[in-house]
Amino acid sequence: MNLYEYDCAIRAEFPVIAGLDEAGRGPLAGDVYAAAVILPEGLIIDGVNDSKKLSEKKRDALYDIIIEKAEAYCVATASVSEIEELNILNAAMLTMKRAAEGLGKYYDIALIDGNRTPDIPRARAVIKGDGTSQSVAAASILAKVSRDRYMYELDKLYPEYQFSKHKGYGTKLHYEMLKKYGPSPVHRPSFLKKTH
């Protein structure tokens, strides 16, 4: 069963599907992002898959198609201070809740990537959902591309950390820059404790 067929099977019972996914739970810096998307019935977008399996160029091209074709979509964030206050899991759930509420359109079921659901109505967790459901995969692309673009903006503000290369993830380069310059205002303090 491909990603589109999975959604078709769900639509037999729940005609309007919202797909949700987040991006940026793991990095040492920056906000966490989430996206919610409702695709029209019958739409197949070639190449849509788990965003991690796609090149950046492919994700960027699909991002434009998804936004153009979606019946509704919303990208939401939770800030570094919210991540610190709530912890990353709760901040990611809050971000997905914001994205779902920002759709402004009724859905019959919300398919959530992973094994937990945010506090929204009619939510169903789908393990590896971004490689199972076209709707969730589309959300994963919107969230990932939006977060990457935000990290490019942070790269301009804090060029010494080279965020454009590692997107805030804990790479060797990133740890070297942290050692050299110390944390920036966009680093997540609770994540850095693990590095020492």
Residue 26 pLDDT level (bands cut at 50, 70, 90): very high
Long-range residue pairs from 115-121, CB within 8 A, at least 24 positions apart, any chain: 116/89, 117/93, 118/20, 118/93, 118/94, 119/93, 120/96
Domain assignments of the chain as residue spans, ordered by start: 3-195
The answer to whether 105 touches 38, Cβ cutoff 8 Å, is yes
Least confident span in 16-25, 46-55, 111-120: 46-55
pLDDT at position 194, please? Answer: 60
Percent above pLDDT 70 for the chain: 98
Average pLDDT over residues 7-19: 97
- Please, what CATH class does the domain formed by 3-195 belong to? alpha beta
Average pLDDT over residues 135-161: 98
Could you tell me the sign of the dihedral formed by the alpha carbons of 97, 99, 104, 108, in that order? Answer: negative
pLDDT in tens, 164-182: 999 999 999 999 999 999 9
User: For 46, how many CA atoms within 13 A lie in the half-sphere containing its CB?
Assistant: 0
Answer yes or no: is pLDDT of 196 > 60: no
Answer yes or no: is pLDDT of 12 > 70: yes
Percent above pLDDT 90 for the chain: 96
pLDDT at position 1, please? Answer: 82
Q: Which of 170, 64, 57, 74 is nearest to 120 (CA)?
A: 74
The answer to whether 27 touches 150, Cβ cutoff 8 Å, is no
Global pTM reads 0.96
Answer yes or no: is pLDDT of 123 > 80: yes
Average pLDDT over residues 23-40: 97
